[in-house]
Amino acid sequence: MQLEVAAPANPLFYADAWDLGDYGMARPLPFLFCRYDFFINDEPLGFAAQLQTLQELQGQYFARAGKGVRASHLDSIVMRPREVRFGTERAIAWSVGKKIGERQSFEYDPAKDKIEPFIIDDESVVFSDFIALPRLEVLAVDDRSGPHHLGGRGAINRFRSIFRNVEGGDVDIEPSVNPQDVHKALQRWGITEFDFVLRPFNPHPPGDLSKRLSEQFSKDGIGVYRGKTEAKEGEKIQPTKDGIVASVVELADAGYGQYSLKGVTPEGHEAQIKRPKFDYEKEKNEKNQAKNRELRIIIEGDGDIANDAMVRIIAEALKGIYE
């Protein structure tokens, strides 16, 4: 009997990216967009120094922080660092990998009707790709996970550990967009979903729009209001100056709520900005809102950063978000 497993109806924002084809075939790929810096002795590195340091690390296996130096601990590696030029822009692409090493497997013996364990010495690697624009101090990291990839945050942590083997070396990589980036996304993206959590203002309204909205909550005795909006089929949400989106943003930006959004960037990529944690206490809510948020973006491509065209697509997407 042959079982058929269907891919999820909407795989784009699942934690584990669905395998949509063989390596090298075009498919939707998830990336975390980040701000970053490389440092040596607390001094930030420019383009040339970043590339040179990556090239010096290339091909060497290192142990994760806190691990010993036994051969089995030397499993983290920087691979294929290189410069990619397009127009007047310069990007850096590289991969971070983990050697699998020893792993346990099982074999069934039909004659004995037993399942026997054994150890395999596996020299293959799981990896994730990085594409950086040093001019803007931003990068994208492949967020695929599963049998062949590390996942975005796992790759970031592993790369940080590798870079600290450089004398005085450290990296700061934060998957993030700031509040200004979020406002720009509201203006530039074709919004497909807009979710929010709100509370009434107290004591003074931040504006006329939020005053009208908040008064409706108070009239019906509503303490917390949660909403989810979706665009009409085949269309995009078009925020107006006096509509529901503007009212929510005005109230939330004053510390009385939080919101998230999904949409399509001007470059045609599906993207999601997550909602910060909501707290009824205004001061705590404002602190949560001031923090950077996670941005996950889906880019169609073959997933191979050895392909200059793939690197250019990702770099242009970075420019579209952060420039």
Averages of pLDDT over each 10 residues, the chain, 323 residues:
39 40 70 95 95 95 68 84 92 93 84 88 86 96 88 93 93 88 91 92 81 83 90 89 88 91 93 91 88 89 81 93 89
Q: pTM for this structure?
A: 0.81
Strands 89-109 and 74-86: antiparallel
Q: Are residues 212 and 258 in the same domain?
A: yes
> Looking at the structure, do residues 308 and 263 belong to the same domain, yes or no?
no
| 51 shares its domain with 88 | yes
Number of domains in the chain: 2
pLDDT at 65: 61
Same domain as 151, residue 140: yes
Per-residue confidence (pLDDT) for residue 200, from 0 to 100:
87
Domain membership of residue 110 (yes or no) is no
- What radius of gyration, in Å, describes the C-alpha atoms of the chain? 23
Asked if 202 and 246 sit in the same domain, the reply is yes
Q: 90 with 212, same domain?
A: no
Q: Do 138 and 199 reside in the same domain of the chain?
A: no
Q: Record the tokens describing residue 28, joined without a space.
A: 């939707």
Q: What is the pLDDT of residue 140?
A: 96
Residue 170 located in a structural domain: yes
Q: How much is the pLDDT for 19?
A: 44
Residue 314 placed within a domain: yes
Q: Same domain, yes or no, for 272 and 256?
A: yes
- Domain identity same for 66 and 153: yes
Same domain, 215 and 157: no
My answer on whether 92 and 32 are in the same domain is yes
Which range marks the domain in which residue 33 is found?
Answer: 23-99+126-176+301-322
> Residue 68's pLDDT is what?
54
